[in-house]
Amino acid sequence: MVESCAQRIKRMRTEKQPLKLSRAEKTETWNIADEEDIFMEIMSRVDVKSILSSKAVSKKWQRSISNKYFHKFLLEKWGKNPSFIACPIMEAAMKLYLMDAKSVERCLLHTIDPSQRSQKNFMYMISSFNGLICCLNLISVEDNVERKLCDLQIWICNPCTRETLLLPQGRPSCNFEPSVGVAYGSEIGEYRVFRIFCVGKKIPEERLDVEGYYVREGEFIPKYRYALAYECEVYSSSSGYWKNIGPVPCFPMRAVVRPFRTGHIFVGGKIYWLASLAEPGEILSVDWEGRFNVINLPYEDGKEGEENITDGTFLVNFQGSLALLVIHTGYMDVWVWKGSWELVLWDKILIEDDELVVTVTSFKNNIICVTGTHWHIYDVKTRKWKKRIPLNGFVNPAVFPFTKSILPCDGGVNLLN
């Protein structure tokens, strides 16, 4: 719980000068603090546009609104009524919708179409944190018969203030769309973007098999497949630049229903990606300091095929812990990682066999499975399913819990303390 401005000022003044503070001085200090509390309480009840325009009222209001503490207060206040943010893919511009957590009714929040983005490819949302979202779109750097270099434009956006920030370009990736994950720190607005890319052939070269041929001067030249090397670089909101942190032990897999290799979650101070579903299966993780680890999936001896890990396997944040949702025919498993895998939930699932789950998210005690036509909401406490039909016209939507904020896209590095 964030202490109020009045509590903070009173505590700081009495801790620093407990014997020099007269009754009159204490009264004056408390009145100022109470005035700040009233100001913040009023501001938390108006819309974002009004808050931002209020900066022009006076220098005092501008300082109060640009204060880091004020942003913390708003996040906690507005965080008591969170919602979902969703966007479909394959749109000319990225349309963001706010969706009520209970009724799943939606309203258009904002359409993001920055002039700097690559117009050849659509944008896609991959993460939501503290009122900010991270979005991607693919750009081609170089393409020839020997190699294909590609990269992603990475955007941090605030849908409420309509601000967008294009991160600096990273190192181009060879024959591999970079994978991206977002981590956020304990300080408000502090975030790091991890970007896994291919640097090319391993040195010394490891030639594998022939994957095709190309023509040069009338002759067919074999095109060999080589073992590739992968590295990671990290962007910090506090520094504003990319830093290479070296090789990675494996790389994230690409799901058929996702446009990029970016299906990840952030929980417990770490980013997690699914890397492989083939036995023994792999999850790649990285912590705030850039330390990587690989976790094997909970394959069970004696079980085969659909009884074990399936293609319908998703990472979820289950009540603050890394968890694995495995969808089988007619039922589901939920495994939680606590140094080892523990099966914490087994229950029937009411999703029809012909419905393809395109994304999974979680919110408090609910697990939400989104298909092309429905939202299937499972309450962990009651063990009951609810079925909603809000997605008419959506194609493979990205869905995340969302809290509105006025936080700048740079994480608030210039906010006042």
**Which pLDDT tens digit goes with each residue over 359-396?**
899 988 899 998 877 889 999 999 999 888 765 666 67
| Local confidence band at 168 (pLDDT 50, 70, 90 cut-offs) | very high
More reliable by pLDDT, 11 or 265: 265
Mark whether 70 and 106 lie in a shared domain: no
Phi, psi of 178 (to 5 degrees): -55, 150
* Euclidean distance between CA atoms 175 and 148, whole angstroms: 5
Residue 232 has pLDDT above 80, yes or no: yes
Between the alpha carbon of residue 329 and those of residues 226, 227, 298, the distances in Å are: 38, 37, 18
pLDDT value of position 140: 66
pLDDT value of position 300: 82
Q: What is the CATH number of the domain that holds 326?
A: 2.120.10.30
**117 located within any domain:** yes
Mark whether 22 and 106 lie in a shared domain: no
| Local confidence band at 20 (pLDDT 50, 70, 90 cut-offs) | very low
| Local confidence band at 414 (pLDDT 50, 70, 90 cut-offs) | confident
Among 27, 51, 76, where does a domain finish? 76
pLDDT value of position 80: 84
Beta strands across the sheet bearing 106-112: 106-112, 94-99, 83-87, 398-402
Residue linked to tokens 């890397």:
275
SS3 369: strand
User: What is the distance in angstroms between the CA of the first residue and the CA of the last residue of the chain?
Assistant: 18
Beta-bridge partner residues of 154: 136
Residue 271 has pLDDT above 60, yes or no: yes
378 class by beta-carbon count within 10 Å (0-12 exposed, 13-18 middle, 19+ buried): buried
Mark whether 112 and 28 lie in a shared domain: no
DSSP letter string, 146-188: S-EEEEEEEEEEETTTTEEEEPPP---EESSPPEEEEEE-SST
Mark whether 32 and 56 lie in a shared domain: yes
* Euclidean distance between CA atoms 69 and 228, whole angstroms: 47
pLDDT value of position 146: 55
Six-digit token string for 139: 């750009």
Phi, psi of 351 (to 5 degrees): -90, 130
* Euclidean distance between CA atoms 296 and 225, whole angstroms: 27
- Write out pLDDT tens, residues 71-124: 888 888 888 888 899 888 766 678 899 988 777 788 889 888 888 887 666 788
Six-digit token string for 298: 């909970």
| Contact of 342 with 336, CB cutoff 8 Å | yes
Mark whether 12 and 92 lie in a shared domain: no
Residue 11 has pLDDT above 60, yes or no: no
**417 located within any domain:** no
Count of domains in the chain? Answer: 2
| Local confidence band at 175 (pLDDT 50, 70, 90 cut-offs) | confident
**162 located within any domain:** yes
| Local confidence band at 206 (pLDDT 50, 70, 90 cut-offs) | low
Mark whether 232 and 354 lie in a shared domain: yes
pLDDT value of position 21: 44
Mark whether 15 and 93 lie in a shared domain: no
Mark whether 228 and 151 lie in a shared domain: yes
| Contact of 358 with 263, CB cutoff 8 Å | no
pTM of the shown model: 0.85
Among 59, 76, 93, where does a domain finish? 76
Among 56, 76, 96, where does a domain finish? 76
Beta-bridge partner residues of 157: 133, 164
For the residues 292-314, what does the mean pLDDT come to? Answer: 86
Mark whether 245 and 385 lie in a shared domain: yes
Mark whether 145 and 39 lie in a shared domain: no
More reliable by pLDDT, 247 or 218: 247
* Euclidean distance between CA atoms 375 and 196, whole angstroms: 31
pLDDT value of position 373: 79
pLDDT value of position 145: 46
Mark whether 385 and 318 lie in a shared domain: yes
Q: How many helices (H) and strands (E) does the chain have?
A: 5, 27
Mark whether 59 and 101 lie in a shared domain: no
* Euclidean distance between CA atoms 229 and 202, whole angstroms: 5
* Euclidean distance between CA atoms 252 and 268, whole angstroms: 19
More reliable by pLDDT, 226 or 26: 226
DSSP letter string, 201-261: E-SS--EEEEEEEEEETTEEEEEEEE-EEEEEEEEETTT-SEEEEEE-SS-----TTSSSS
Pairing of strands 375-379, 366-370: antiparallel
**207 located within any domain:** yes
pLDDT value of position 19: 40
Phi, psi of 107 (to 5 degrees): -145, 145
**363 located within any domain:** yes
| Parent domain of 54 | 5-76
